[in-house]
């Protein structure tokens, strides 16, 4: 994401507060996207164009909006980084972690 910054040997996402080592970020940047494996909360592999359902209510940072559990998301797109899934829902476009999704 664009709001990440370096802190010593780590990167930090200012939006969600997640931290990860610089080596992981560099490996992800050099990694071919076809080799990437993204799994949902049940361990099923996700692919571009899949439909998924949220398994938990998620608060949207910087907003009073909440993405409700059970909301269906069609036609996801896998991207690199910590927030692996890019999708569009009624409230706008969101980047989500795959651990909060279940494949339909």
Q: Is 45 exposed, middle or buried (0-12, 13-18, 19+ CB in 10 A)?
A: exposed
Domain ranges of the chain: 1-30, 36-103
Phi first, then psi, for residue 26 (nearest 5°) are -65, -40
Q: Provide CB contacts within 8 A for 64, sequence distance 6+.
A: none
State the average pLDDT for the chain.
85
**Computed from CA positions of residues 78, 28, 44, 1, in that sequence, does the dihedral angle turn out positive or negative?**
negative
pTM of the model: 0.65
pLDDT digits (tens, 9 = 90+) for 53-89: 999 999 988 889 999 999 999 999 999 888 899 999 8
- Dump pLDDT digits (tens) for 9-37: 888 877 777 787 877 666 666 655 556 78
- Residue 92 structure tokens: 């706008």
Assigned CATH topology for domain 36-103: SH3 type barrels. (2.30.30)
């Amino acid at each position: 994401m664009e709001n990440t910054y370096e802190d010593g040997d780590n990167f930090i996402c200012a939006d969600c507060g997640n931290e990860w080592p610089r080596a992981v970020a560099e490996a992800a940047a050099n990694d071919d996207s076809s080799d990437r494996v993204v799994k949902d909360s049940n361990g099923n592999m996700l692919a571009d164009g899949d439909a998924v359902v949220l398994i938990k209510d998620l608060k949207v940072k910087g907003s009073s909006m909440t993405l409700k559990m059970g909301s269906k998301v069609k036609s996801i797109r896998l991207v690199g980084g910590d927030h692996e899934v890019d999708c569009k829902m009624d409230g706008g476009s969101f980047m989500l972690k795959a651990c909060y999704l279940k494949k339909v």
